Amino acid sequence: MINKIIAKFYDKKFLIFCIIGAVNTILAQIIYMILVALSLCAPGPASVMGDVLTIAVSYVLNMKLTYHERLSIKSAVSFPISYIPGTIINMIIVMIVVNILHFPKIFAKLISLPVTIPLNYICVSLIVKITRKEDKACVK
C-alpha cells in the first residue's frame, strides 16, 4: 500500500504538476494577498478567489505539459470540477489557521499546500483519465 502511494507521487508527471502548481500557487497567493491586504475580501473567500482566477493557467499548462492531452470543451469543463475538493479543504484550513490559530492571515493560504497539492493531483489525474477514456470511446 505504501509503495503504491510512493509510486503515485514519485514520477515525472507529479513533478511537472508540482512545478505548474508552484507557478499557479504564486499567482493565487498574490491575488489572495492583494485582496486581504486591501481588505477587499475576508481570508476564506479571498483564498477561493485566488484559486478560481488561476484555474485557466493551470488547465492549459497541465493538459499540455503534464498529461499531454489536447484541450477540449469536455476537459475544460471537467478540469475545474476536479479542483473543488482541494479548494474547499484549502478554504477550511485557511479559516482555521486565521480564526482559531490566529496565524497571520496574509500567509495562511500557504499552510494548506501540503494537503491540497497531492489532493489536487489525484483529482485532476482521475478526471483526465476518465475524460481520455470517454474520448476514446467516442472515436470508436
Q: How far is CA 12 from the centre of its chain?
A: 18
Q: What is the pLDDT along the chain (140 residues), one digit of tens a residue?
A: 667 666 666 778 888 988 998 898 889 889 989 999 999 988 888 888 988 899 889 999 999 999 998 888 888 888 888 888 888 898 899 889 999 999 888 788 788 888 888 888 888 888 888 887 665 555 55
Give the residue extent of every domain in the chain: 9-134
In whole angstroms, give the CA distance from residue 40 to residue 46.
8
Query: What is the DSSP-derived secondary structure letter of residue 105?
Result: G
Q: Could you tell me the CA-to-CA distances from 31 to 12, 27, 53 in Å, in that order?
A: 29, 6, 8
This prediction has a pTM of 0.70
In whole angstroms, give the CA distance from residue 138 to residue 82.
22
Q: Which residues contact 55 (CB under 8 A, 6 or more apart)?
A: 79, 80, 83
